[in-house]
Structure 1
């Protein structure tokens, strides 16, 4: 497939890479004759972690105290700084704790203890149940609850992107937290499925089987990962989102704010999905909120 923009003197053509064209052709064939086999392949694509540089940034200014928490026989990496009530940092899909490092010093100066963890398959943690380079949303939830059982129930959680959805699921499952701060939240668990469907050409039968496999893997409905479906409890929450976010739509933050009466929304413009974690004003607003 090509998309061509014509101008007066030149034309610009964006071509689909040969590998993607081959994958689309394979899925088109499997959709007709073997959608279950296609769903196994699509699940592997869904679980594969992105590896772009923004997700690997290390914003920590100083090392904290390192430890591990065991989860299903695997090690979950944990780093802590300061003392006082614990405030947890939860990264997003394909990220790691260092991405949220700019929050550490202001939080410590505010008199709280910072607890940051890497989800299974991320950062310095062991691979999860799906192996190296792949992730599982339910393991985010289990890791947060396991770390909280060791390091103390959180006064607050600061989460980014997909980490907002998994934090909500942990709260849904009984994690007691006084306040939440969601930065660039991803709230629609089907959005990533639809995004992959557009790129790789999954057919409707493949998608249906794929969702069944995802829910079987998680042991629950995908809707449980949508914060907008949680009725109670809903802790006081600050949501910060950028209008120019290309990974998690700004409208998702608006709909989440409308669904949670105790939520407040701060809107930024021009920070995108990653730079928002490094903006001094955003950091100050979030730290002030969770450390009250």
Structure 2
């Protein structure tokens, strides 16, 4: 059978630009591997229904956030019987929802920051939050990536009101977490392997959108972790992968006194030139082209070092 892959990109989430970059990188990689494919840029979920995908052997979801990562696109492709990269609709929906992710993590014995959830800003009370979480805490949309709509609050009622208003604008509920000061880790899981861990260093008080995508002073370097911390990260990621049947993902952790706390999961991590998932793969010995072949359920070249992954 001749492989013919449809790359789906765009979407209506705040991560659309990253999605377009991922699609461009995947397309270039498939060209390097002489794999026939087409790229489709869509804006809304209904646009996916208008594509004739039955002529393709597989779909590559280069979408981030929104309907591309919350199980909707996955459910539609399941109904069509077309294979795709990433997890099931159910696992996608859980991992996209930060509140559900915390519930699952706690059930698996994984540490998370203390938190509160509010459906609307009208129900979010500053005094109640402060008594539960302390004077300093994080306000974020419940189902959004790339730190969009995230605010750090330091004992300010007026800043709190503005923050919950920003978070509510995404219409996914408001998650408020206790603030954990400490280094952030990018931890990637790839087909039964824990990839080399990266430590993110930045100048802002927390890993904001500006720190992620704008500031030239944000760096990502290979982390040096003590044995117990590494073992805990590995156990946590393997537990997540087994519970949710995930072949690959990127997880964000924060270290507090050498103990990792899970922040969130990304089931369709970015595959751009700046993305940490492909960098971790390369550090592990998996080239970008072989990574893309594997994610498309295709066999990498026999001479590739990725065959050991």
Mark yes or no: TM-score above 0.5. Answer: no
Higher helix share: 1
**What is the TM-score with the length of structure 1 in the denominator?**
0.33
